Amino acid sequence: MKNLIVLALLISIHLTGYSQKKKYPKNIILMVGDGMGVAQVYAGLTANHGKLNLERCTAVGFHKNQATDDFVTDSAAGATAFACGQKTYNGAIGVDASGKSIPTILELAELNGLATGLVATCSITHATPACFISHQPSRSLNENIALDFLKTDVDVFIGGGRKFFTKRSDGLNLADSLKARGYQIANSITEVQQVTSGKLAAFLADEQQAKFSAGRGDELVKSTVATLQLLSSNKKGMFLMIEGSQIDWGGHGNDTKYIVDEMIDFDNAIGKVLDFANEDGKTLVIITADHETGGFSIIDGDFKTGMVEGKFTTGSHTGIMIPVFAYGPGAEEFSGIYENSDIFHKMMAAFQFKK
C-alpha cells in the first residue's frame, strides 16, 4: 500500500512536470537584419574578433523565402510573410498576392491588449517596418504608409521618414495628428531618451538615417533600450520589431566595411535585447533576415586583427535560405527548415492568439 502511494505520487509529479514543460512567452521581440545572410553574420563575427551576442541564442533554423511572383524576394514580400503569415508579390505591404489586406502580428497584439513597437535604422515607412502596420499595394507609397500609422494604436515607433509625416503632398501634418492622439514626438535620440512613459513617435531623420560610421552611431542601441523600457510597463506583454535596416545597403553597395559596421551595430542591439530577455525570463527573441544581399562571401579573415576580405556575386538580393536564431521560452520551435511565412504562425502559436 505504502509503495502504491509513493508510485502514485511519483506519477503525478511526473505528469505535472510534463504538462508544464511547454512554456509560452509574454513578450515577443522579432529582430530583422535586412539582407543578413550567413556570410554577413560571419563577417561581423570575424571583424568583432571572433564573437557576437547572437551566439547566445539557443535554437537555430532556416527559412525559405521565395516570393509568389519571384524566386528572389524583396523586403516587402519578405516582411509581409513574417508579419501576416502569407507569401505575396515583391513590393506588397501587408497585402496578399491578390492585393487584399491581411492582419499583421502587431495589429493582433494590439487587439489583444499588448504593447507594440517598431524600431528601424531607415525610414519608418520603408518596406520592413511598414509591413507590420500598413496595407498598401506598393512599397513606394510612403505617404500612404505614413497615414496607416494612425490606423493602429502602436505605442512606440522610432526611425527616419519625418518628411512623409510632415511635408506631404496633401498638406496634412501627421505629427500634429499623432500629438492629438496622445503621442510624444521626438526629433532626436536625446529627445527619445527623455521620454520615460506613454506613447512615442520618434523621427531620427527627414528621410533615411545616416550610416553607423557616418554619424548615426549607437542610435539603434539607444532606441532599443528606450523602447524596451517603455513597452515593458504593459503587464500583458509586448510585440516589438527591431530592424537593422542598412546591412542590406552594404550588400547592394558591395561594401564589406558597410556590412560589418551595420552588422556589429545590429549585434549590439541584439545584446541589449538578450540581456532584457535573460532577466525577464518571459521573452521570446527571434533574429532573422528577409533575404541575403550581394551574394556575399568571405575569402579571407583574421580574428586577431578583425580583418575581413569579402567578395560579391551581385548588387541585388539572392534567393538562398536564411538563418533564424531564437532565445527564450518557445525558442526550440524555431529550429528546422520552414517557410518565411511560418515565422508568423510560430509567433501566433507562441502568443496563443486565435486566428
Residues that bind Zn ion (CB under 5 A): 248
Residue 32 CB, nearest distance to Mg ion (Å)?
7
142 contact, one of Mg ion, Zn ion, none, CB 5-8 Å limit per kind: none
Cα–Cα distances (Å) from 6 to 3, 107, 193, in that order, read: 5, 50, 58
| Dist CA 317 CA 9 (whole Å) | 58
128 contact, one of Zn ion, Mg ion, none, CB 5-8 Å limit per kind: Mg ion
| Dist CA 254 CA 295 (whole Å) | 9
Closest to Mg ion by CB, 53 vs 128, is 128
Neighbours of 294 (CB within 10 A): 28
| Dist CA 34 CA 245 (whole Å) | 5
Residue 216 CB, nearest distance to Mg ion (Å)?
15
Q: Is 338 helix (H, G, I), strand (E, B) or coil?
A: strand
Pick the stretch among 16-24, 61-69, 123-131, 250-258 that binds Mg ion (CB under 5 A): 123-131
128 touching Mg ion, by CB under 5 A? yes
Task: Decide: 311 and 299 in contact? Cβ < 8 Å.
Answer: yes
Closest to Zn ion by CB, 165 vs 266, is 266
34 touching Mg ion, by CB under 5 A? yes
Pick the stretch among 46-54, 127-135, 228-236, 296-304 that binds Mg ion (CB under 5 A): 127-135
Angle, in degrees to the nearest 10, between helices 256-280 and 219-231: 20
Does the active-site annotation cover 213?
Answer: no
Residue 328 CB, nearest distance to Mg ion (Å)?
24
Closest to Mg ion by CB, 149 vs 351, is 149
Closest to Zn ion by CB, 248 vs 342, is 248
Residue 323 CB, nearest distance to Mg ion (Å)?
17
Residue 220 CB, nearest distance to Mg ion (Å)?
13
| Dist CA 223 CA 121 (whole Å) | 10
- Selecting among 75, 123, 134, 223, the annotated active-site residue is 75
The three cell numbers locating residue 188: 532626436
Computed on alpha carbons and rounded to an integer, the radius of gyration of the chain in Å comes to 21
Q: Output the CA torsion sign for 233, 117, 146, 113.
A: negative
User: What are the residues binding Mg ion (CB under 5 A)?
Assistant: 34, 75, 128, 245
Q: Among all residues, which ones are annotated catalytic?
A: 75
